[in-house]
Amino acid sequence: MTPDKSDTNAGRLQHQKEWLDSYRPRLRVSEQGYVVSVGDGISWISGLPTAAIDDVLLFDDGSRGLVFDLTQGSVGAVLLHATDQLTAGTGVTLSGRQLSLPVGDALLGRVIDPLGIPLDGDSPPKCDGYQPLMQASPGIVERDFVHQPLYSGCKVVDTLIPIGRGQRQLIVGDEGLGRSSLALDTVINQRDQQVHCVYVLIGQKRSTVIDTMELLRRYDAMDYTTLVVAEASALPGLQHLAPFAGCAIAEYWMHQGRHTLVVYDDLSTHAKTYRELSLLLRRPPGREAYPGDIFSIHASLLERATCLNAAHGGGSMTALPIVETQQGEIAAYIPTNLISITDGQTYLDAELFSGGFRPAIDIAKSVSRIGGKAQHPAIKREAGRLKLDYLQFLELEVFTRFGARLEAAMEKSIRRGRLLRELLKQERLSPKSIEFQLAWMIAYNDGLLDERELSAIPELLAGLETQVAGSGLSLDEGRERWAKQLRGWLSAETEAQP
């Protein structure tokens, strides 16, 4: 039903009359600054003595900026939006507000920039409210212990390097080893898990952005995911704000009592962008030319990921930051910073990748410091000795390279280790259910797979996955029932072979 135009005009006139009746003349003081210089995504401004860090600036040409640095006579700002008319001498005023972006369920399935502007061609989302990008992390009295698992669908991660809801788990490795694929697998595996996901792409090529969006749509993951994009051609200020925007979106849902997952892809690019802005603003450089506060920038971001207690809604935000290494140098500046901030790391190794072990996770260098507390007792029981067995196998396998004769017990250990390595292999974009993972671990621990040829393992696991999916068995079933079912399935599969 369309409202009458005369009613609309009458309402507008009534509003104007009320404004005029309430208007009172008084002295108004405002600051008017002007641009001293502009270039490379930053601007120096004079004439704003009360400007504060993170204040939003409005330029007369329609550009927007964010106060990023303060000196005695001028203000350094990063540009969030710049027009072609922005030049030295352009007037600047304080907006009087902090930077925020729209949040709410309307963002699910959308692709936006760090300011909430849609990039997918659709109309602006009708959100529930606004959330500041920069705010303090939850206090210690608001937090709870990580006690619920977040399943990635990756066999290595869910069994040997588990993640809990509210945990910060770093994904570290060289370029091209599958870091983003592991994060995307985790997002895809959250279907039907009531977990809202935010995937942040920082300084990525447009082709990478499109591929990520199409992949998530292909697996129906965009229904519960928001993409925050600051591509490589975006202003450095937007690239710097991208992870904080993704965090704010997830934080809104967390404070509503929901569970969220946010992926930062990747924080190496973010650190380089922050270094670029800091050097342009003439801040003193430190190690590897990074500014001295790069650690606190990443710490303030990742500390906002947590698990809230029941008194504060019981929501959680799990963070999967990604960082790039050069030639496997895990002791570089930014990786070591992030390792010290997070609750564990998943390390991908180039030699394992070249050797055909996918995902190329180095179990010896990977750790989850708190994820084990959130594991289901059945998974924790079966996975307890797998990691130790596998690490011992890697040490024993070295002896086989010398052609030395081995004892029978050592040969058996090596064979079981090779079997376990084959069981842990997994193709990308094929997340596995946690029930299936319990099934193969019980089968391995009970020796039901010892006589199988390694070449037959992939086909056997595919059949086992189908059997588990149709069985209706859950993690809470007794171990004896699981073992009995597995013996029956594997015996039937053996008899069916020609």
Same domain as 431, residue 389 = yes
Q: For residue 47, what is the DSSP state?
A: S
Query: Which residue, 46, 71, 97, sits at the end of a domain?
Result: 97
Domain boundary among 348, 375, 402: 375
Among 415, 361, 409, 417, CA closest to 393: 417
C-alpha–C-alpha distance, residues 44 and 78, integer Å: 9
What is the residue-level pLDDT of the chain in tens, covering all 498 positions?
A: 444 545 556 667 776 777 778 877 877 677 899 999 999 999 999 989 999 999 999 999 999 999 999 998 899 999 999 999 999 999 999 998 889 999 999 999 999 999 999 999 889 988 888 999 999 999 999 999 999 999 999 999 999 999 999 999 999 999 999 999 999 999 999 999 999 999 999 999 999 999 999 999 999 999 999 999 999 999 999 999 999 999 999 999 999 999 999 999 989 999 999 999 999 999 999 999 999 899 999 999 999 999 999 999 999 999 999 999 998 899 999 999 999 999 999 999 999 999 999 999 999 999 999 999 999 999 999 998 888 888 888 888 877 766 667 777 888 888 999 999 999 999 988 999 999 999 999 999 999 998 889 999 999 999 999 999 998 899 999 999 999 999 998 888 766 665
Looking at residue 3, what is its pLDDT? 47
- Per the listing, tokens 């190690």 go with 287
Which strands sit side by side in the sheet containing 344-348, from one edge to the other? 111-112, 225-230, 195-202, 259-265, 316-324, 170-173, 344-348, 367-368
Give the Cα separation of 290 and 293 in Å (integer).
8
Length of the chain: 498
**CB-based contacts of 180, cutoff 8 Å, min separation 6:** 212, 265, 266, 322
Domain shared by 120 and 81, yes or no? no
Tokens of 489: 């399935």
How far does CA 468 lie from the centroid of its chain?
Answer: 30
Question: Could you tell me if 135 and 236 lie in one domain?
Answer: yes
Q: Does residue 257 sit in the same domain as residue 336?
A: yes
Task: Quote the pTM value.
Answer: 0.91
Domain boundary among 316, 348, 375: 375
Query: Does the annotation mark 369 as catalytic?
Result: yes
> Is residue 2 domain-resident?
no
Q: Is residue 348 located within the same domain as residue 489?
A: no
Query: What pLDDT shows up at residue 93?
Result: 94
Classify residue 120 by its DSSP letter.
Answer: S
Q: 18 in a domain, yes or no?
A: no
| Whether residue 190 sits in one domain with residue 162 | yes
Residue written as token pair 């004439």: 47
Task: Tell me what pLDDT residue 352 has.
Answer: 93
Tokens of 260: 């969220």
Q: In total, how many domains does the chain have?
A: 3
Q: 117 and 76 in one domain?
A: no
Written as one letter, the residue type at 496 is A
Alpha-carbon torsion (303, 307, 309, 315), positive or negative: positive
Q: How many CB atoms within 10 Å of residue 85? A: 11
Asked whether residue 261 is assigned to any structural domain, the reply reads yes
Task: Say whether both 267 and 136 belong to one domain.
Answer: yes
| Catalytic residue (choose from 143, 191, 283, 369) | 369
489 and 348 housed in the same domain: no
C-alpha–C-alpha distance, residues 449 and 440, integer Å = 9
Those residues with Cβ within 8 angstroms of residue 84's Cβ, 6 or more apart along the chain or in another chain: none
Q: 359: closest CA among 168, 162, 210, 183?
A: 183
Instruction: List CB contacts of 5: < 8 A, sequence separation 6 or more.
Output: none
Structural domain boundaries enclosing 396 = 382-496
pLDDT for residue 1? 41
For position 57, which CATH number holds?
Answer: 2.40.30.20
Match 């842990």 to its residue by tokens.
Answer: 424
**164 shares a domain with 274:** yes
What element of type H or E holds 38? Answer: strand 33-39
Is position 15 within any domain?
no
Asked if residue 118 and residue 222 are part of one domain, the reply reads: yes
Tell the residue number behind the tokens 């990756």, with chain if given.
Answer: 154
Which residues are CB-neighbours of 65 under 8 A, at least 6 positions away? 43, 45, 56, 57, 59, 77, 78, 79, 80, 92, 237
| Domain shared by 92 and 118, yes or no | no
